[in-house]
Each structure stands twice: as structure tokens, then as C-alpha cells.
Amino acid sequence: MSDAAKISPAEDFRLLPYLAADLRRAQVVMHGTADRVSGLRLWLGVLSPRFVPVLLCRLAYWFYRMKIGPVAKLVSLLNFFLFGIEIAVRCPIGKGLFFPHTQGTVIGAWSIGENATIFQGVTLGARELDFSYLEASRPTVGDGVTIGSGAKVLGGLTLGSGSRIGANAVVLSDVAPGLVAVGIPAKTVDRKQTEHDAQ
């Protein structure tokens, strides 16, 4: 069993602790640390276009778990209209979710681990129409995964914890933990190699 397969954000989901973790992570990403953020700035962070989509996503999932499906879908639809992001209400997502930007993003993964960063224009979903929402056709995303702008992650594959998906990559097979996937179709490379190439 892969490390991503062991992730079950749905098992311990509680709305307020998850939102608090999401807000702390957003402050760390945007300001370097949550410790230097004043109370006023923290509260203003709740209104940030980087946090409100997460708030709406969490509310939709909470309503879904409470078996209030129509309300969950309405909240999800609001997220789509306001921020251009479509998130399946049944997709469990771990704490610390961060969207630097949202437009054009479609999230139909089986599950997403903690501290995921998902840029704009990303698609996580099935390769074919899948209205039954089957695990075999949906991606499973591990902890600490970053998915770059415009990336497409399709099918019943696993993105291992700590992996990174390059901008515009088309991922059709598993990505091992800690590796970087780039290209069309995506191929994996060692993260150290990409950091060395960037210097």
C-alpha cells in the first residue's frame, strides 16, 4: 500500500480545526510565519481570495458529510461562480490546503492529503466520464504535494507525498514520493536534479 493510499482525511474531519489549519498554512506561505501575523491581519486573511475558496470547499464537504447534499452542491456552485474553481463535494482533503490562484481549476480526486498546494488551471480527475466517482478512475494525492499551473492529473493514479507536478504536465501514471513530474506525458525526475538545473 502506498503512502498516499493510507491517507484518510475524511476519518478525522472536523470543520473548525481544519479551517484553522488552512488559515495558519496560508499565513505561513504568504508571510513566512503565522507568528508575525497580528490578530487583525489574521482575521483579514479569512477574506483573502486565497482562503475563501478553501472555506467554501470545507463548508461544501461538511454539508456533504452531514448528508445535506443539495446545500453542499449550492456552496460548491458558489465557489465555482466566485472563484472559477470546481471541487467535487465528496473529495476529502487534508488540513493545510492552499490555492495561490483558483481560476479554471477542477478537483475531482479520490482524496488529497495534508498541505497540498494547487495552482490555477489544474485538473485532477478521471480520464473518461465517471459519474459514479470510482476510486479506480480518480487520482489519490499524498501529503505535501504541489501541483503547478495548468497540470492535468488523470486516472486512478497516486501522487506520492512530497512530489511536485510541473506546470502544464500531463500525469497519467503514479509519481513516487519526493519526485518531480514534468512534460507531456509527464516523466519523473529527481527533485535534486531539477534544483541543480535551476542554479
Beta strands 152-154; 123-125: pairing state: parallel
Number of domains in the chain: 1
Residue count of the chain: 199
69 and 88 Cβ atoms separated by less than 8 Å:
no
What is the share, in percent, of the chain residues with pLDDT greater than 90?
64
* Of 96, 115, 91, 114, nearest in space to 105 by CA: 91
User: What pLDDT was estimated at residue 9?
Assistant: 65
| pLDDT level of residue 29 (50, 70, 90 thresholds) | confident
pTM of the model as a whole = 0.86
Q: Residue 179 has what pLDDT?
A: 96
Q: What is the mean pLDDT of residues 64-70?
A: 95
Specify the residue for cell string 476529502: 92
The answer to whether residue 105 scores a pLDDT higher than 90 is yes
CATH of the domain at 172: 2.160.10.10
Q: What is the mean pLDDT of residues 149-171?
A: 97
Amino acid found at 17? P
Q: Is the pLDDT of residue 73 over 80?
A: yes
Q: Cβ contacts of residue 33 below 8 Å, gap of 6+?
A: 27
- Residue 44 predicted with pLDDT over 70: no
Confidence tier at 5 by pLDDT (50, 70, 90): very low
- The pLDDT score that the predictor gives to residue 193 is 58
